[in-house]
């Protein structure tokens, strides 16, 4: 639409210029120099110029309105993006210490759900892309936070189920049943007196929906467009490599040729049926 509007404005401007030029030639008696012009139609030139001028004014008006609307939409989208980035930072700050506090997880999950829903309000493409990048950044940070280094394990491990019962010794408690018992509500019987508040029962177990909301966010969407799929694999010889890329090229060559099975290194070239 924007392209067609520009083409129409240019075309009408050319028509006006030609009409004005022919009118000037007629005024100075030079119209005879233009043999292909029907002299009887020269009286139409002012009307054509005025009509084209009016159409240009109308098109310019609507184009300016379109530009103003786009500018307003962009500013609105940028406000939503700023709100989302601040909210994503708050979600990370709530969970970055790997706590298993029920109230904090409820706050974080509610804020996360409300923030991700802002994406549906965005219209501007590059602002949408910025929002997606912010989502991916938070997803990576939360993935790191919601994993932990277990003794004897080199790679980060998923949080154990005991963690979600909200107990303090989740990393040492072996029994899930015991974790459930420890997190049980501590109901107490007390007299109702004016001098003291009735103690609230403590509930440690994380709210199920808050856990689901946060871990669902960690999963990449089904329609995720992975930029790594567009990366071309190296097919040149590692012997020709030099500089900083040497180690990486040797690794790529080695892992494409060999794989480990049952503790033994297998050459794919020697076992083509296993490729």
Secondary structure (H, E, C), the chain: CHHHHHHHHHHHHHHHHHHHHHHHHHHCCCHHHCCCCCHHHHHHHHHHHHHHHHHHHHHHHHHHHHHHHHHHHHHHHHHHHHHHHHHHHHHHHHHCCCCCCHHHHHHHHHHHHHHHHHHHHCCCHHHHHHHHHHHHHHHHHHHHHCEECCCCCCCCEECCHHHHHCCCCCCCCCCHHHHHHHCCCCCCCCCCCCCCCCCCCCCCCCCHHHHHHHHHHHCCCCCCCCHHHHCCCCCCCHHHCCHHHHHHHHHHHHHHHEEEECCEEEECCCCHHHC
pLDDT per 10-residue tile (average), the chain, 275 residues: 56 62 50 50 56 63 62 89 97 97 97 96 93 96 91 83 93 91 70 74 86 95 83 84 88 86 84 56
pLDDT value of residue 201: 61
Mean pLDDT of the chain: 80
Q: Against a cut of 0.85, is the pTM above it?
A: no
Closest CA to 251 of 226, 233, 227: 233
Per residue in 31-88, pLDDT tens? 454 554 555 555 555 555 566 566 666 666 566 665 666 788 889 999 999 999 999 9
What values do phi and psi take at 186, rounded to 5?
-90, 80
């Amino acid at each position: 639409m924007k392209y067609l509007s520009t083409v129409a404005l240019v075309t009408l401007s050319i028509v006006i210029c030609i009409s004005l030029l022919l009118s000037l030639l007629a005024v100075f008696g030079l119209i005879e120099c233009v043999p292909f012009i029907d002299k009887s139609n020269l009286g139409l030139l002012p009307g054509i110029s005025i009509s084209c001028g009016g159409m240009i004014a109308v098109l310019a008006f609507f184009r300016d309105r379109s530009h103003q609307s786009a500018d307003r939409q962009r500013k609105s989208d940028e406000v939503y993006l700023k709100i989302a980035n601040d909210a994503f930072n708050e979600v990370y700050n709530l969970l970055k210490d790997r706590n298993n506090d029920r109230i904090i997880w409820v706050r974080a999950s509610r804020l996360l759900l409300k923030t991700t829903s802002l994406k549906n309000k965005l219209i501007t493409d590059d602002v949408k892309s910025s929002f997606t990048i912010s989502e991916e950044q938070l997803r990576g940070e939360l993935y790191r936070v919601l994993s932990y280094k277990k003794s004897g394990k080199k790679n980060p491990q998923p949080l154990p189920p005991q963690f979600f019962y909200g107990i303090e010794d989740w990393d040492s408690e072996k029994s899930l049943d015991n974790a459930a018992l420890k997190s049980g509500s501590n109901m107490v019987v007390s007299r109702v007196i004016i001098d003291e508040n009735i103690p609230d029962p403590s509930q440690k177990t994380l709210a199920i929906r808050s856990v689901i909301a946060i871990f669902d966010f960690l999963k990449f969407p089904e329609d995720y467009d992975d930029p790594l799929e567009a990366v071309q694999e190296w097919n040149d010889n590692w012997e020709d490599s030099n500089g900083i890329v040497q180690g990486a090229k040797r690794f790529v060559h080695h892992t494409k040729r060999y794989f480990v099975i049952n503790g033994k290194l297998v050459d794919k070239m020697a076992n083509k049926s296993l490729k």
